[in-house]
Amino acid sequence: MARVFTRNEASAIFGAALGEVWTTLGDAKGGEIYKKFLKEIKDPHAKRITQQFAYFTQPSLKGDGQGIEYDDLKTGTSLSIDPETRALGVRLTFEGLEDMRRQPFGSFSSAALVAASKLGEAFRKVVAQRKEIQAAQLVLNAATSTGTAGRQSGAGYDAVALASASHPILSNTSVLGGTTFSNVGAASALSQSAIQTILTTEETIPTLEGLVRPLGNKWKLMVGPTNRMTAYQVVETTKKRQTVGTQDWDVPGLADFDIEVIVNPYFGASSTVYSLSNEDCQLGYWDVFPETIESEHDFETKGEKYSCHYRWVELHEGPYGFHKSAGA
């Protein structure tokens, strides 16, 4: 006697197709924009806790026969960041699955399996774009400190915004003269001179001890779509050792730097914001629990439920290596 193709089998085949598509999409995914400017954080703990720490500023003069002076190790306020859980689900009705059962070699074998692939793709897409939006907000809202500490729109360990004109160091002295620093660029249009000004400022930002920091050679210039052409013009003409609008023999101050352009569509169509960051940048993402798809039988409706959930958080743990301008 021929075996009956049941609703449960229809659900199982649909779920298997969905799972296969999900896995395939996961293997093929790549090119995430946020991974180009955020560092991956790996932490085995339930929450992310960081502590700022500073050593010494400079040795004191010791006179003949005098004792040495002792300095203190300095600690700042700790920063605690909790992971964030997000989830999304969809239901397939009993009636829909029953129709699949009745036409196993017709609409089910084609349309239903196509629907499974579309569902898996939709789950992947919405998760990926949610991460991109949150990552972009770290930069777009870097000058705001009203949100959760260490997150987008939130203050850092030093109680000021990620992009602020008043970041304090932990030492009460600095070889550069000041005990606070700024990582906010002037609200000016993107240009070679604007980038040069930012780099000049970065070179005089002290460490937490108050010492001089190495400037670094590699930088990432991130812009929105509206500044795409300007960004490439700034960088490419620099590589050719030319300054926009001047003679070929003019050598710009940026010629010694390796600057990579990142165009982030999640900045929006009209945003003039741009940022400059290097390997010291303390912006990151913590992939606590990767996105996972699950399914189960819905006893009340006799249908099936499919869901996707994950734990992920964007974060900033310090202002070093990052500079933002609102543009113009």
How crowded is residue 136: how many other Cβ atoms within 10 Å of its Cβ? 24
150, exposed or middle or buried, with CB in 10 Å at 0-12, 13-18, 19+?
buried
pLDDT of the residue at 249: 46
How crowded is residue 144: how many other Cβ atoms within 10 Å of its Cβ? 15
**Cβ(192)–Cβ(237) under 8 Å?**
yes
- Thinking of the domain 7-55+71-325, which architecture would CATH place it in? Alpha-Beta Complex (3.90)
78 vs 89 pLDDT, higher one: 78
Structure tokens at 84: 């964030």
To which H or E segment does residue 222 belong?
Answer: strand 218-223
Query: Strands 258-263 and 218-223, how do they pair?
Result: parallel
Structure tokens at 37: 């400017």
Locate all alpha helices (DSSP H) within the chain, ordered by sequence.
Answer: 7-28, 34-37, 94-102, 107, 113-140, 192-203, 228-239
Asked if the model's pLDDT at residue 2 lies above 50, the reply is: no
Residues in the chain: 328
179-195 tens-digit pLDDT: 999 999 999 999 988 99
Distance CA(45)–CA(10), nearest Å, equals 41
Asked if the model's pLDDT at residue 1 lies above 50, the reply is: no
Extents of the domains making up the chain: 7-55+71-325
How crowded is residue 305: how many other Cβ atoms within 10 Å of its Cβ? 14
Give the mean pLDDT of the chain: 85
3-17, 65-79, 206-220: segment of lowest average pLDDT? 3-17
pTM to 2 decimals?
A: 0.83
The sign of the dihedral angle between the CA atoms of 136, 139, 143, 149 is: positive
| Residue written as token pair 């991956």 | 40
279, exposed or middle or buried, with CB in 10 Å at 0-12, 13-18, 19+?
exposed
Structure tokens at 149: 């500490």
Helices 7-28 & 113-140 angle (0-180, nearest 10):
40
108-132 tens-digit pLDDT: 555 555 566 677 778 888 889 999 9
Asked if the model's pLDDT at residue 106 lies above 90, the reply is: no
pLDDT of the residue at 19: 65
**Cβ(325)–Cβ(194) under 8 Å?**
yes
Across 268-276, average pLDDT = 96
